[in-house]
């Protein structure tokens, strides 16, 4: 079942990419007590994710912070080392990378996707959400192959 607006996020283990290496975090702890702009990508270093999705959140960081977000975070079914390298390559130290290496978070929110046809295995769908104290306030899930409703621009337009 896919998570919906008004639902509390499930509590699963993630790995936060840090300069010192992966840091284990529970999603329940990470999202507690703060407002987070979360976006999910099928994979770091993939074309749309690298050319549009991540750069859009980097470009709109100041506007997102001005709208009251405590953090901007990205999740992907990649390991923390890959997400850390991707963030260093084209991201921002203001974006928190939450690695969902086994896809547990993607499955728990019902937004996992089968990319085996592309040789990528099980991944996450492309989406964005506004999470306030662990509760989903806004959810934008892309149709397969699309990139529009999960962008930073779309999120800002909805606020």
Domain boundaries, the chain: 13-158
Question: Would the pLDDT of 71 be above 80?
Answer: yes
Strands (E), the chain: 13-18, 21-26, 35-41, 71-76, 95-99, 112-114, 122-124, 127-132, 135-141
Does the CA dihedral 101-28-23-95 come out positive or negative? Answer: positive
Q: Which active-site residues does the annotation give?
A: 49
Higher local confidence (pLDDT), 1 or 65: 65
Residues 6 or more apart from 15 whose CB is under 8 A from it?
22, 23, 24, 25, 79, 80, 98, 99, 101
pLDDT at 46 over 90: no
Q: Give pLDDT, residue 91.
A: 82
Please report the pLDDT score of residue 55 as a whole number: 94
Binned at pLDDT 50, 70 and 90, residue 70 comes out as very high
Dump pLDDT digits (tens) for 81-140: 999 999 999 889 899 999 999 999 999 999 998 767 776 658 799 999 999 999 999 999
Using only the alpha carbons of the chain, give its radius of gyration: 14
Dist CA 128 CA 8 (whole Å): 15
CATH 3.40.50.2000 fits 13-158, yes or no: no
Percent of the chain residues past pLDDT 90, beyond the cut: 82
């Amino acid at each position: 079942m896919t998570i919906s607006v008004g639902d509390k996020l499930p509590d699963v283990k993630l790995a936060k990419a840090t300069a010192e290496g992966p840091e284990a975090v529970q999603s329940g702890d990470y999202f507690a007590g703060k407002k987070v702009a979360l976006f999910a990508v099928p994979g770091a270093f993939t074309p749309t994710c690298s050319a549009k999705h991540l750069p859009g959140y980097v470009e709109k960081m100041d506007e997102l912070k001005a709208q009251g977000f405590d953090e901007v975070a990205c999740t992907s079914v990649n390991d923390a080392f890959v997400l850390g390298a991707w963030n260093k390559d084209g991201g921002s130290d203001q974006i928190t990378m939450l690695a969902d290496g086994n896809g547990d978070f993607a499955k728990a929110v019902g937004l996992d996707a089968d990319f085996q046809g592309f040789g990528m295995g099980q991944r996450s769908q492309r989406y964005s959400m506004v999470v306030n104290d662990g509760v989903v306030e806004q959810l934008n899930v892309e149709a397969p192959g699309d990139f529009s409703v999960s962008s930073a621009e779309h999120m800002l337009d909805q606020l």
